[in-house]
Amino acid sequence: MRNKMLACLRYNLKKLLSSPVTYLVIVLTVLFVDREILPVRNYLRDSGELVSWPGLLTYLLDYAPLTLLLGLAMIALLSHLPMTDEAQVYIMARSGRKSWARAQVALIFVVAVAYMVLVALTVLLWISPYVDWSGGWSDGILAFVEGGAYETYDSLLSYDPWVMRTYAPWAAALMELALHALAYGFVALLVYVGNVLFGRRGGVLLGVLPLAADALMASFYAGLPNYFSPVTLSRATMLDYGDGAGYPPVWYAFVALMALCALFAYLSVRLSMKKELRI
């Protein structure tokens, strides 16, 4: 069964990579990232300072508008799941409906992880002449967080100094990459369930809801309400610094997002097994 699922997954990946929407999303993602790190790159070019790649990535992923934009890009990539092209009837007959459904769900997590890797590599490429590999937060980040360079260069990112005091740069970046992948996986699973139950429009609307909730949380709420907003759990400044402010702890963010992903992955497979799909 595992071999059948992997064969289905390979076909789904080839199908996804043959879509022009995939390349449009990649281009737009690169443009999103370029727009946000351009002020940092301009500063590095003018000053000759170096910047920590994971440090800059941490602050980039902590920017709420970018979380929203990247989430919408993920929905655009995966809004057609479960795949319903003509070849799916043949694939389902050869592999079995369960293997077919599991491959559809597995595609979500593969794409979510690959998408976050793409964001990370784009940041590295764009600052490649000025990377500080020492493992610290770097003079470039310090200049923006504590030196006020973000005002001079009109950077819109939120440079919270507590992030540097709480985490090492690699730990913070890997944590946010993992949490974003889980959050976007959950959003894509919501779209999948909505597609099966309500059709494509209903699926997209259902997937947008947690992204909209996160935008609301970032603008108007803090502390306890963050426990109930899955996408909000992906950002470091929305988690507990150990100051007793009532924010969700990091372990809660991982447990909650993994539990939601597991629940909706199971639900997606069960719905695909029981409900008649229009193929």
Measured at the CA of 133, the angle between CA 128 and CA 137, to 5 degrees, comes to: 100
Is the pLDDT reported for residue 27 higher than 80? yes
Q: What is the pLDDT of residues 221-242, one digit of tens each?
A: 777 888 999 999 999 999 987 6
Phi, psi of 131 (to 5 degrees): -85, 130
Give the pLDDT band (50/70/90) at residue 2.
low
Is the pLDDT reported for residue 278 higher than 60? no
* Alpha-carbon distance values, 5 to 8, 9, 79, 91 (Å): 5, 6, 21, 10
32 contacts 156 by C-beta, under 8 angstroms: no
Domain ranges of the chain: 2-274
Looking at residue 265, what is its pLDDT?
A: 96
Percent of the chain whose pLDDT exceeds 90: 66
Looking at residue 279, what is its pLDDT?
A: 42
Report the C-alpha gap between 183 and 179 in whole angstroms: 6
Measured at the CA of 45, the angle between CA 44 and CA 46, to 5 degrees, comes to: 90
Q: What is the pLDDT of residues 120-172, one digit of tens each?
A: 999 999 999 899 998 899 999 999 998 989 999 999 898 999 999 999 999 99
Looking at residue 21, what is its pLDDT?
A: 93
SS3 of 52, please? Answer: strand
Is the pLDDT reported for residue 84 higher than 80? no
Kind and range of the H or E run holding 205: helix 200-220
Average pLDDT (188-215) is 91
SS3 of 132, please? Answer: strand
Query: E-strand spans in 68-137?
Result: 131-132
Give the burial string for 3-21 (b: 16+ CB within 10 Å, else e).
ebbeebbebbbebbeeeee
Looking at residue 186, what is its pLDDT?
A: 97
